[in-house]
Structure 1
């Protein structure tokens, strides 16, 4: 017999079967909600839904809305307003409509709210790579939650907690800043690591540019730049999250002008864009640590 404390099981519709929507559909189904239908706007998303949400029917927008007590809108930010307009005349009062866009709160769902729906913004602060692992990671994620009132807030909190994740309230007026901060820390990290791997490959291959097939003692060379960088980056990330900016090590922390100047020169030989990225981030680190004026002048000067 179901515990009286267990949340009511909801009939769920997903718009649409992209990476985020599919992962959330799996997660909601795993805790007992009934994912009845899904909108799949492309052959790729239809195949994804068939593979990972086989219990859900693929339906058009009106069909998904008609099936659902909880509608999860997981479309790109640029499409969210149009979807809200499209379903506004279809939802029935009391339907829960939650979107997953990071940069918007609930105001963008005003057309739906005027139809009597309970509107929520529930953004998973997680990266999605189109794998079942996405669903597993949701349980360790935080969700940026915004609601229109106390009722919506309570529902959003319950849904997120039920997935094993952590809800964090974000004010409507702070959604843009919230999303910018996440993008800066996550998306720009991708650019940083890509540049570092490129430079490391150049160093491993040497001046002649030969592939380093025998770069290690055991003769391995494939993926060596990533292998070399991974433990350092992982430790650095863990340290700064635990200790803040005091965890910084290396030439900027030491005020080593000569080493930083050599870095800029060496990176410029690989790609000027990599050197520019190094200069900007090192200048920011130097400013955060009130570094020696000579180092700051080097980094802030036009190359």
Structure 2
């Protein structure tokens, strides 16, 4: 990638700006590309295959050319890989086989599961590997850019270039949190457990209320869930309340029977598993006696399962 091939490169380097290529104009890639552009980096190309990704590219990265992946890598000083986890490793390896990666080129991916080891083929060619995972759910719309201000990124990188990863995240308006390479999978599991399962819980509770004829379940659940989340984040398990924390065996048993009778086996199973986990943690922290905890577990076991 010479100055003649990329006439704006020398000026960008002088100003501390990068030519950024975005591979994957999904909800994450398009938004992060727009955030880097807002930080005065130049987005030199984006890959977009589906109609939805092309529309996102047009809306969030207007004027940026849609290019083939090899062309993006050739033109970019920073390549942002915003592709599904399972596609990341073969993509990096495939580009390495064609000699696409360049010495000194920054290569960053947005996967939570992986650290920089997945970028080893690019690193072997002299590229600089970075893992930048935004701990946020994305809509793929411009409002995500505002949300980045409250967002943290789990970052991993070799020690010598860790400041580069931190600087890129700060430039996007977010906060970098360093995650050791060996801890990436557990880090990602923690986030998925909190975020994805919260959606499942809200959906299951909405289903139950809608089945009872409640027209706007969100109006019942919204204030409760928001307050519970805020209290939990502020006070941890000190915010725990409800029948399990009180050792109210009769109520827990009634809940389990009602869920079984309603024929919602997935919800009954989720309620039972989370109630059991809550009881165990309450016992560990002295909120319940071991006898109370066992009584809760016994009530959950005795509830009939819908065949």
TM-score normalised by L of structure 1: 0.89
- Counterpart among 254, 268, 281 of residue 275 in structure 1: 268
Displacement of 1:300 in angstroms is 5.1
Displacement of 1:137 in angstroms is 1.4
Contact map agreement 2:105 2:126 (CA 8 A) in 1: yes
What is the aligned partner in structure 2 of residue 168 from structure 1?
A: 177
Contact map agreement 1:287 1:296 (CA 8 A) in 2: no
Aligned counterparts of 2:303 and 2:105: Cα–Cα separation in 1: 56
2:138 is aligned with 1:128: yes
Contact map agreement 1:35 1:55 (CA 8 A) in 2: no
Which moved further from structure 2: 268-277 or 170-179? Answer: 268-277
Aligned counterparts of 1:144 and 1:78: Cα–Cα separation in 2: 19
Unaligned runs of 5+ in 1: 1-5, 206-211, 213-220
Displacement of 1:301 in angstroms is 5.8
What is the aligned partner in structure 2 of residue 114 from structure 1?
A: 124
Aligned counterparts of 1:254 and 1:123: Cα–Cα separation in 2: 39
Give the 5 Å matches for 1:1-303. Answer: 8-88=16-96, 89-147=99-157, 149-203=158-212, 205=213, 221=215, 224-270=216-262, 271-290=264-283, 291=288, 292=292, 293-299=294-300, 303=304
Contact map agreement 1:36 1:55 (CA 8 A) in 2: no
Deviations 1:64-93 (A, max 9, x none): 012211110000001001111133221221
Q: 1:7 to 1:122 in 2, by over 3 A?
A: farther
Aligned counterparts of 1:264 and 1:175: Cα–Cα separation in 2: 36
Aligned counterparts of 2:46 and 2:146: Cα–Cα separation in 1: 20
What is the aligned partner in structure 2 of residue 217 from structure 1?
A: none
Contact map agreement 2:106 2:130 (CA 8 A) in 1: yes
TM-score normalised by L of structure 2: 0.88
Unaligned runs of 5+ in 2: 1-13
Q: 1:228 to 1:7 in 2, by over 3 A?
A: farther
